[in-house]
A and B are shown apart, each in its own frame.
Chain A
Amino acid sequence: MQASLSLSVSNPAAIPRSDHGFESSLPFPSKPVNLRFCGLRKEALGFSSTSSSSLSASRSNRNVAGSKKVWASLGGDNGSSSSAAKSFDYDLIIIGAGVGGHGAALHAVEKGLKTAIVEGDVVGGTCVNRGCVPSKALLAVSGRMRELQNEHHLKALGLQVSAAGYDRQGVADHANNLATKIRSNLTNSMKALGVDILTGFGAVLGPQKVKVGKDTVVTAKDIIIATGSVPFVPKGIEVDGKTVITSDHALKLESVPDWIAIVGSGYIGLEFSDVYTALGSEVTFVEALDQLMPGFDPEIGKLAQRVLINPRKIDYHTGVFATKITPAKDGKPVTIELIDAKTKEPKETLEVDAALIATGRAPFTNGLGLENINVATQRGFIPVDERMRVIDSNGDRVPHLFCIGDANGKMMLAHAASAQGISVVEQLTGRDHVLNHLSIPAACFTHPEISMVGLTEPQAREKAELEGFEVAVAKTSFKANTKALAENEGEGLAKLIYRPDNGEILGVHIFGLHAADLIHEASNAIALGTRIQDLKLAVHAHPTLSEVLDELFKSAKVNAHVGSPVAEPVAV
């Protein structure tokens, strides 16, 4: 749900998105496009490059091959020449074929590892089948419905549209078709590269040993756990899949209730409120914290509430827990018992047509055989260090075992899982790599969208207090952007939190048209350690929404005017 699939899956040959490893042999020296990409800004990333010139290094294939182990080609033979395969069935086994596992598998093959991926359900995991992907289909529909229903907006554009309507089944089919399509893309991309897809529930039997299904045992030099998560349902809530549902059910859009309560006002709840209200439902939010949209930068949250909640057919109860939710039956509605989150006093009982439980996600780590390797989960999450290496109950690292994605709980986003997977493969193939989680963007695909990267303002101020630096904030409005005004979508704000002393970006938050697409300029800058004073000089096409960020960077007041050498990315 949380974020879109960040990887291109259709063209395996174009995968080297984070491939900095030109020390590996490159069987296709005739593909300089990729290589040039690799070579870009290598200093910035601090690679241990074998040559000062990446282009010449990669072209002179023989040199590299002489000094380094020759890895398998990108083609279909899947690391058959790897020495590791002699004693193990595989170099790498990944348990779970979600976006995280997929990202890791692709990168592993590219790095020449003989790779297998274990999936007990369907390829694609939550994101593709029950999360980000189908929800984007529903949101695409809701966005259009919203536009067509907004008479005021249409009129302002000079458009005349007669009453807009929708066919629920048609909408549901669109979401389902999209999931199917992305799933087959994902499967095909792995098959094309020769990743073995082992069907069956995977469990860790012991070090470097995995059981697949009932009785198949496979061995691998390294194992990555990428089992993801399931919707979290607090106790007392009875999910029947019809009137009390989780995102898993909601994405099938089997009904559009007149009145639906959404428990939890994070990304998932917000996105569904957007879908449901566009399709004609009325929504009641139930939020345990004192304000809606916890986790967002407070200023962005406040603005978002004015646009996404207040004018819509939505009301809310904050500071309350839903202690008991009973599905509708025998002509009775769904009942939701609320208690005060602080005093625990009963507050109110809601009667609604349906309830969507969007209280977050719980790691799916049961039955993984973690006891075999002495690993104790923490609230279900598998403990890992900053390199995703699994930590056992004694606090020691479990050799050759890694955990990425929702299962480790570091950052429950599809693209974060994928990035973690790639980081692990980098380590396995001889290059130390620590992922900078502060550079991972997140987005909420409401209309308009919300996106963010790095710290919120309160977080940044807290950090500044602790470490003794100054924090400044710059803001720009979408109202000042030509393209946004042309679209008649001037509602929106971009906010930059930075250090005025050295121009470091601490966080960027955007609420407005296509915010989810706009954030990457900022996240890339954070990932590469680019400073604002340098970004100010970058050119943006006119008129585009990207100029919102251009304005934002330009409005920041950095004291260090000299472009400073780009710093190492910071790990967390």
Chain B
Amino acid sequence: MAHLLQTSFLPSSPCLRANPDRSSSSSSPMVQISRQRSKTGGVVQAKIREIFMPALSSTMTEGKIVSWVKSEGEKLAKGESVVVVESDKADMDVETFYDGYLAAIMVEEGGVAAVGSAIALLAETEDEIEAARSKAAGSSSSASSSPAAASTAADPIPAEITAPLAASAPIAVTPVPKLASAVHPASDGGKRVVASPYAKKLAKELKVDLAAIAVSGPLGRIVAKDVEAAAAAPAPVAAATIAAPPPAASPNVELGTVVPFTTMQGAVSRNMLESLSVPTFRVGYTITTDALDALYKKIKSKGVTMTALLAKATALALAKHPVVNSSCRDGNSFTYNSSINIAVAVAIDGGLITPVLQDADKSDIYSMSRKWKELVDKARAKQLQPHEYNTGTFTLSNLGMFGVDRFDAILPPGTGAIMAVGASQPTAVGTKDGRIGIKNQMQVNVTADHRVIYGADLAAFLQTLSKIIEDPKDLTF
């Protein structure tokens, strides 16, 4: 029963719930006051704590305040029940972790708050109650933080909860409808939004503002995949920027100097040398991408990236050819990998990393695109966890965006195959009926470990892949 409050030690953290009225945003006096305080008087700092909505179960994303056991101004002793929270599973008493005074209740009874968002303020002394109250009032009545303020405030907690994108990619802020109000949009006088029940649920979960969503459902209705797409929307922006860093970095290189390897470069170097002990061979294939391009154009607006599409197509093909997804680690045996994890090579500042889309054959294209976006952000912030970059079972390397029409990839040790993807470009093609037509075609070239994967395996795999890409309806199931 007893669940402990998570409290923050950061008194100046702006309110986590965005306020639609951003007119007075960053110049809000309340916010400034609290900032000044934290700058000048470090004493004040640890005395007002936020009481967060706790996660009462592993599946809980938000909680409803059933009742406040304590009222504002009341003294709390560590371990006392403060509030009853209704989770997806049960009603639970929530206890305080600290002694102090319940200074201000920020979410009233019956209100709903996301896990991790502040529901009340706890003051350490009675003197602090007023300060806390004004802070709570500031955060609920006047605007507390625009997304920009949140990201520049250098305050890790709200940044992580409300604006993970804003922190790393300021350009992504504009299309981000993430800081949505919890108000039911359909009741928004006059402006009618029709969204399916699941779309509404998802929007709440993903904090997407239904009013700002591109609609694809029948009869102008927002359906679940629109919400998913909107949540993944910043992805194209990020995808475009991945390709950008290398040229941007080059002018800064000081010519004629010797630069030691960074850790990452050292790792790449070791891996490349190790790859020489693997007997590899290559098989190429030309694939017509007209249908894929059409599909991409259609769902691009929903945040789907070409990378995700290719990864998905590859994963579906791999599912039919498990041998290509196998690996040989000891030179004596195959390992048929149980899941299809597509690693995709990404150039990042100072190196190369391969974030992994796990179970790419099983997840849908929209969540994959979202996942990819998240991985790329993490990769650029150098925050990828080991399992997010070293669990690949098949690697994709795409240089098509540079106009490269064909290239050759080196097989990363520990995997069975890697596929180099060139640009898709209009090509004059002779058809069987003797005509000549223009079709978009791209060349792929797979490098594989011949100890476990033979030519016929790759050929069959490539044939399947080309069929999937030429008739891509399965990609968006």
Q: Interface residues, chain A, CB within 8 Å of chain B?
A: 258-259, 282-284, 306, 310-311, 313-315, 332-333, 348, 351, 353
Contacts and interface: CB of A to CB of B under 8 A. Distances in A.
Nearest to B192: A349
A351 B197 contact: no
A480 to B, nearest CB: 15
Contacts of B200: 315
A313 B218 contact: no
Contacts of A283: 197
A313 B88 contact: no
A27 to B, nearest CB: 59
A258 B196 contact: yes
Interface string B192-223: 00101110110000000000000000110101
Contact of A348 (B90, B187, B201): B187
B197 A315 contact: yes
A284 B197 CA distance: 6
B88 A259 contact: no
Given A258-B196, A282-B196, A310-B88, A351 B221 contact: yes
A351 B198 contact: no
B387 interface: no
Given A259-B196, A315-B200, A306 B88 contact: yes
A159 to B, nearest CB: 15
Given A348-B186, A348-B187, 14 more contacts: A258-B218, A259-B197, A259-B221, A283-B197, A306-B90, A310-B88, A311-B88, A313-B197, A314-B197, A315-B197, A332-B219, A333-B218, A333-B219, A351-B221
B197 A282 contact: yes
A405 B464 CA distance: 63
Contacts of A282: 196-198
Contacts of A332: 219
B89 interface: yes
18 contacts: A258-B218, A258-B223, A283-B197, A284-B197, A306-B88, A306-B89, A310-B88, A313-B196, A313-B198, A313-B201, A314-B197, A315-B197, A315-B200, A315-B201, A333-B218, A348-B186, A351-B221, A353-B218
Contacts, number: 34
Contacts of B187: 348
A147 to B, nearest CB: 18
A512 to B, nearest CB: 14
B163 to A, nearest CB: 27
A111 B200 CA distance: 59
A292 B191 CA distance: 27
Contacts of A284: 197
A258 B221 CA distance: 11
Secondary structure class of chain A's binding surface, majority of residues: strand
Nearest to A353: B218
A526 to B, nearest CB: 29
A368 B201 CA distance: 49
Contacts of B88: 306, 310-311
A353 B197 CA distance: 12
Contacts of B218: 258, 333, 353
A313 B218 CA distance: 17
The 9 closest A-B pairs by CB, nearest first: A313-B198, A315-B197, A282-B197, A282-B196, A282-B198, A333-B219, A259-B196, A284-B197, A313-B197
Nearest to A348: B186
Contacts of B221: 259, 351
A259 B198 CA distance: 10
A258 B218 CA distance: 10
Nearest to A491: B89
Contacts of B186: 348
A351 B221 CA distance: 9
Looking at B89, B198, B200, B221, the one whose CB has the most chain A CB atoms below 10 A away is B198
Contacts of B201: 313, 315
Contacts of B196: 258-259, 282, 313
Contacts of A311: 88
Contacts of B197: 259, 282-284, 313-315
Contacts of A351: 194, 219, 221
Interface string B177-197: 000000000110000001011
A258 B200 CA distance: 15
A37 B88 CA distance: 47
A351 B195 CA distance: 9
B112 to A, nearest CB: 12
A315 B187 CA distance: 15
Looking at B186, B196, B197, B201, the one whose CB has the most chain A CB atoms below 10 A away is B197
B208 to A, nearest CB: 16
Nearest to A285: B197
Contacts of A313: 196-198, 201, 224
A260 to B, nearest CB: 10
A282 B187 CA distance: 20
A333 B194 CA distance: 12
Contacts of B223: 258
Contacts of B198: 282, 313
A284 B198 CA distance: 10
A88 to B, nearest CB: 58
A258 B217 CA distance: 10
Contacts of B194: 351
Nearest to B217: A258
Nearest to A152: B59
Contacts of A310: 88
Contacts of A258: 196, 218, 223
Contacts of A315: 197, 200-201
A283 B223 CA distance: 13
Contacts of A348: 186-187
A311 B60 CA distance: 10
A351 B187 CA distance: 14
B377 to A, nearest CB: 27
A258 to B, nearest CB: 7
A259 B194 CA distance: 12
Nearest to A316: B197
B256 to A, nearest CB: 58
B469 to A, nearest CB: 22
Interface in B278-295: none
Nearest to A310: B88
A284 B184 CA distance: 15
Looking at B88, B196, B200, the one whose CB has the most chain A CB atoms below 10 A away is B196
Looking at B90, B186, B201, the one whose CB has the most chain A CB atoms below 10 A away is B201
Nearest to B187: A348
Interface string B28-43: 0000000000000000
A311 B89 CA distance: 10
Looking at A259, A310, A314, A332, the one whose CB has the most chain B CB atoms below 10 A away is A259
A326 to B, nearest CB: 14
Contacts of B219: 332-333, 351
A212 B104 CA distance: 75
A311 B194 CA distance: 21
Interface in B131-178: none
A353 B223 CA distance: 13
A284 to B, nearest CB: 5
A284 B201 CA distance: 12
A204 B351 CA distance: 92
A433 to B, nearest CB: 44
Looking at A283, A314, A315, A333, the one whose CB has the most chain B CB atoms below 10 A away is A315
A314 B198 CA distance: 7
Contacts of A306: 88-90
A368 to B, nearest CB: 42
A353 B218 CA distance: 9
